[in-house]
Amino acid sequence: MSIEPDHRLTRRRLLRQGALGSAFLAAGPLLGSAPARAAVARASTAITKGGTLTFARSVAPTQLDPANSIIAGDVYTLDKIFEPLFITSPAGELTPWLAESYTQSSDHLTWTFNLRPGVKFSDGSALDAADVVFSLKREAANVDGPLGFLDSAIKTVKASGSNQVVIKLAEPWAPFLSDISVFANAIIPANFGGRSEKAFFAKPVGTGPFVLDGFTPDSNLTLLPNPHYWQPGKPYVDRVQFNYVADDNQRVLQIQSGAADIIDAVPPANVASLKGVSGVTVELFPAWEVDLLVLNEALPYFADRHVRRAITHAINREALVSATSFGTAKPGGSFFPPSLQYYDPNTPVLSYSLAAAKAELAQSKYPNGFATKLLISGGVEKWSEFAQIIQQSLAPLNIKVTIDSLDHAAFESTFQAYNYDMFIDYAINDISDPDEMASFEVDYKGSGVKSYWSSYNNPAAIALVHEAQKEFDSAKRADLYAQIQAIVSADAPYVPLDYPPYIYATGAKVHGFAVNPGGAYRLENVWLS
């Protein structure tokens, strides 16, 4: 999962595990979303190679080790250099990548992956099964890492010859194929190619379309084409320049002036005006993302279920979205976003009702209200707007909210130390299966972060999460996730505020750019006219 603008949740979606069985999965991405189809259509004309792609980003990379990445700037850099066995396509489909095919045993415990032939690392050395074994073992052993829990089902990883990897699981694990597609499971050379870990990541070697040219942590980064990339003729551009531009207005000015070819995190308020700028295209990509108001159940008043339900009823999410998103987002309901597999549109949501809010509070231990604090990252304008609306919404309940705005680094360290009352952040599913979001936000012990730092602990919901992890029948999994969504909605450990899209703007010369629902954008298909 990830966190805004730097801290990304674990992510998943359209893979129907029950339908896969032990089937052979053929290579080739499946493009189905409107933005993905548009990207393909724009790239269908004659491709021109060369040029520098200048990308102004709201986040900056801090380091380049996939096993230690959950910061958005890191995540959105790593997949240009490193690649996993599977990836998620722009349409949200799980797609064979460094693995050409796989089989699984009838008991779902043994998974055999056949590596794509002819793949080389950027130093010219051939990809070998030993590299996969080293990489997956390294991440599986990274139990304290941000996404190490995704590999918790792995029992053993062994090479079977130079081109085949056999993975045995400790138990049947339906999300497994999606788990190994996460960026943290990217493949690197065995034993860091004979270098120390520090030396390797200072000048990393991967199978991705690009290689590192220059890097200033927390700032800018430059990539050059990988001369040994396994997709012939790709990447198309000669250079990618990532520039860290934290200020929203500056990024907008750069796309308008042509100083940037692509910008991310376009403010919703600027979408309409940018659409009117000649030579600029604004695209809204579906996201496995939810903005959340998280309540700290370690505190007595938020441990009270009636208080949490009262707060949820008191926030008019339709009005909140209308006031802040300029038509780009949808009001929150389930903690699963609508684009995520097994989202249940029939989840019994605690809808806006001030009368219901007052009735719930009257049943609590705090019928006369209380004073509390709302922690936000001062660098996110939308959250500042959310905070003011929430402050006003809770006033009729005599819940007095003080807004505590910190710089982003301090914001993250504060809520991750559980030193907060309420905070606003976003949750993103990084991969195609919803187990990541369910585990991260519901499994108190399994996630390692006490249910998204909320301290929410419902044994019935946790048991359902564990049951869904072992269920390979798609219809049965759908029912289990529907039950989970209903329980979480009723318990209200956090308030799903809205479902925002990813909003990007590109210049007229950019073709083939697309973003998958987990937020990743691979650039090997991008070309400049």
Do 310 and 361 form a contact (C-beta atoms < 8 A)? Answer: yes
3-class SS of residue 476: helix
Question: Using CB atoms within 10 A of its CB, is residue 109 exposed (0-12), middle (13-18) or buried (19+)?
Answer: middle
Tell me: cis bond preceding 235? Omega within 30 of 0 counts: yes
As a whole number of angstroms, the distance between CA 5 and CA 7 comes to 6
Lay out the sheet containing 280-285: strands in order across: 210-215, 221-225, 239-244, 52-57, 262-263, 502-507, 280-285
Look at residue 19 in the predicted model and tell me its pLDDT.
Answer: 29
Structural domains of the chain in order of their starting residue, each with its CATH number = 289-499 (3.10.105.10)
Q: CA 228, CA 135: separation in Å to the nearest integer?
A: 20
pLDDT tens digits, the chain, 529 residues: what are they?
Answer: 433 333 333 322 222 222 233 333 333 333 334 444 444 444 456 999 999 999 999 988 999 999 887 677 788 899 999 999 999 999 999 999 999 999 999 999 999 999 999 999 999 999 999 999 999 999 888 776 667 778 889 999 999 999 999 999 999 999 999 999 999 999 999 999 999 999 999 999 999 999 999 999 989 999 999 999 999 999 999 999 999 998 999 999 999 999 999 999 999 999 999 999 999 999 999 999 999 999 999 999 999 999 999 999 999 999 999 999 999 999 999 999 999 999 999 999 999 999 999 999 999 999 999 999 999 998 788 899 999 999 999 999 999 999 999 988 899 899 999 999 999 999 999 889 999 999 999 999 887 789 999 999 999 999 999 999 999 999 999 999 999 999 999 999 999 999 999 999 999 999 999 999 999 999 999 999 9
DSSP output for 358-410: HHHHHHSS-TT-EEEEEEEETT-HHHHHHHHHHHHHHGGGTEEEEEEEE-HHH
- Helices and strands (DSSP H and E) totals, the chain: 18, 23
**Contact of 48 with 243, CB cutoff 8 Å:** no
